[in-house]
Copies of this chain bind each other. A is one copy, B any other.
Amino acid sequence: MGNMMAKPKILVVEDEASIRKIVQTYLESAGFSVTCVDNGRDALTLALSNPPDLVVLDLNLPGMDGMEVAARLRESSDVYILMLTARGEEADRVAGLRLGADDYLTKPFSPREMVARVEAILRRQRDVGGSRQDHTLRFAHLVIDLDRHEAVVAERPLDLTVTEFQVLWALAASAGRVLTRDQLLTQVWGSSFYGNDRVVDVYVGQVRRKLQEQSDAPMIETIRGIGYKFVDPKQT
């Protein structure tokens, strides 16, 4: 789908231009939004004004040491940190971990592995937050279950694509309230979607069609000039 979620932002802090360039290239082609700086001071400034999701941080920096940068970053936020170091002493490794680096690569490293590490760190971040709630929306004839990823109308399962499902979920979760196209775009397509908002109309249309194939209650209303609204037919 291009991008359902915003591109994770990554800040690369590395003084050696050649390495910096490689890291940037690989990360960008892996779909990340990358910013580079070559010293610790700029890193801190930038991290404050525009917090990244993860920092790739060289340990050996001119001026402010990588360790200190890490410590400072951690003071003010909980960014994830991937440390880069020269082939190194045990002492460094331990100290690096104590300061809370989330992973660690020794130079020379394979760029692909570096990307893999970055992805793994971000992946974990997403996973751990999962305390279970009831992820189910229930209406008169419609039940939407996020965990099963299943929507059922009048006992019949709907065959929805991911995007269609998300559109339906977004609307149903705000049942009774109007959602503008922009709100739907943000909720479903993510805040960094630069496409045409007519895509919302197309998907609403598709969801409507599939809903009506199974049940004739029109559950998604068009609010002209504004957006769409889900209404539970039994209610109202």
List the interface of chain A (C-beta within 8 A of B): 1, 18-19, 22, 78, 93-94, 96-98, 100-104, 108-113, 116-117, 119-121, 123-124, 126-128, 130-132, 147-149, 161-162, 176-178, 182-183, 185-186, 191-196, 223-226, 229
Beta-carbon contact of A176 and B191 below 8 Å: no
Query: How near does chain B come to A231, taking the closest CB pair, in angstroms?
Result: 9
Name the residue on B nearest A90 (C-beta). B18
A194 & B116 in contact (Cβ 8 Å cutoff): yes
Contact in complex: B94, A18 (CB < 8 Å): yes
Q: Name the one of B96, B102, B126, B149 contacting A229, with C-beta atoms under 8 angstroms.
A: B149
B110, A120: Cβ atoms closer than 8 Å? no
Minimum C-beta distance from A32 to chain B (A): 16
Residue of B with least CB distance to A221:
B149
Q: Which 8 A-B pairs have the closest CB atoms?
A: A162-B225, A102-B110, A116-B194, A147-B177, A149-B178, A116-B128, A18-B94, A123-B182
A104 touches B94 (CB 8 A): no
Known: A127-B183, A149-B226, A162-B226. A97 touches B111 (CB 8 A): yes
Kindly state the separation between the CA atoms of A126 and B180 in the bound complex, as whole angstroms. Answer: 11
CB distance from A161 to the nearest CB of B (A): 7
Q: List 6 A-B contacts (CB under 8 A).
A: A1-B225, A93-B108, A97-B110, A113-B124, A116-B196, A127-B182
Contact (A123, B131) CB under 8 Å given A94-B19, A97-B22, A109-B97 = yes
A100-B110, A101-B110, A120-B128 are known; give 5 further A-B pairs, CB within 8 A. A22-B98, A104-B108, A120-B130, A148-B177, A162-B226
Question: Nearest-CB distance from A195 to chain B (Å)?
Answer: 7
What is the chain B residue whose CB lies nearest that of A93?
A: B108
Q: Are the CB atoms of B108 and A102 closer together than 8 Å?
A: no
Q: Known: A97-B22, A229-B148. Contact between A103 and B110, CB under 8 A?
A: yes
Taking a contact as CB atoms under 8 Å apart, the answer to whether B148 and A178 are in contact is yes
Chain B residues in 8 Å Cβ range of A101: 110
Q: A108 contacts B97, CB within 8 Å?
A: yes
A104 to chain B, nearest CB (A): 5
Please measure, in the bound complex, the distance between the C-alpha atom of A120 and the C-alpha atom of B131, giving whole angstroms. 9
Instruction: Return the chain B residue nearest A174 by Cβ.
Output: B147
